[in-house]
Every structure is written in structure tokens, then in C-alpha cells.
Amino acid sequence: MSEAATSKRKIVNPLKGVFTGRFLVSPQLAKNWPFIIYLSLLALIMIASSHSAESKVHHISRLRTQMKELNSEYIDTRSRLMIESMEYKVISKGQELGLEKSNTPPLIIKVPEND
């Protein structure tokens, strides 16, 4: 029974020291402060890196959504342009302006080159 009690004390004492903060001022740990600071800096760098990566993922997601919207707008605009540029639409718009369709083809004027 006393062995169990001593083993519990061996476990409880280090945990008690961790929770109270006594382990930070012990003379044995004083020589390890540079390493502890190094590990803390690495942890901060890791947190910053993961935050940066997560924000980039969100930014990429927003850009993909915006790209899909712009692509659908482009397709819609292109289809409306194709409909508006059909011959019968152009003729009807010209008639609204008082223009008539010419039955004779346009004349081609050729100018000889003078060297």
C-alpha cells in the first residue's frame, strides 16, 4: 500500500510543479531556457503559418466563386451579342432608324500602287 502511495506522490509532485509554475524557476531548468524559448518561437511560427495558409485557402475560395460568376456573365453577354448581331436583328434595328437594306453589293475600289 505504501508503494502505491509513493508512486502516486512521484506522479503528483511533477504535475503539481507544472501547474504551479515551480518548474520554470528550478535551477536544473535554468540551463534549458534558450531551448524553451526556441520551442516557443517555433510554436508561434507554426501558428502564424497555419493562419496564413488558412486565410489563403479562404481567399482562393472567394476568387473561385468570383471567377464562376464572371464566367457565367461572360457567357450570357456573349450569347446576347450573338443574338443581337444576327442579320435579321441588324436589319430590324436599321429599319427602326429609317435605313433600308441595299440590294446591290458594295463596290470595291482598287487603287494601283505607285512605286
Residue-wise pLDDT tens digits, 31-75: 878 888 999 999 999 999 999 999 999 999 999 999 999 999 999
| Residue-level pLDDT at 83 | 92
70 within some domain: yes
| Residue-level pLDDT at 46 | 98
Residue 79 domain boundaries: 12-96
91 within some domain: yes
Q: Residue 22 has what DSSP assignment?
A: G
User: What is the average per-residue pLDDT within 11-21?
Assistant: 69
Does 15 score more than 80 pLDDT?
no
| Residue-level pLDDT at 10 | 60
115 within some domain: no
Residue type (1 letter), 51: H
79 within some domain: yes
Q: Please work out, in degrees rounded to the nearest 5, the angle formed at the alpha carbon of residue 92 by the alpha carbons of 90 and 93.
A: 65
Count of structural domains, the chain: 1
Grid cell for residue 70: 464572371
DSSP letters spanning 51-99: HHHHHHHHHHHHHHHHHHHHHHHHHHHHHHHHHHTSHHHHHHHHHHTT-
108 within some domain: no
pLDDT tens for 75-94 read 999 999 999 999 888 888 99
Please, which residues have CB within 8 angstroms of residue 22's CB and are 6 or more apart in sequence?
Answer: 16
- Please give the radius of gyration of the chain, using alpha carbons only, rounded to the nearest integer: 40
Does 13 score more than 80 pLDDT?
no
57 within some domain: yes
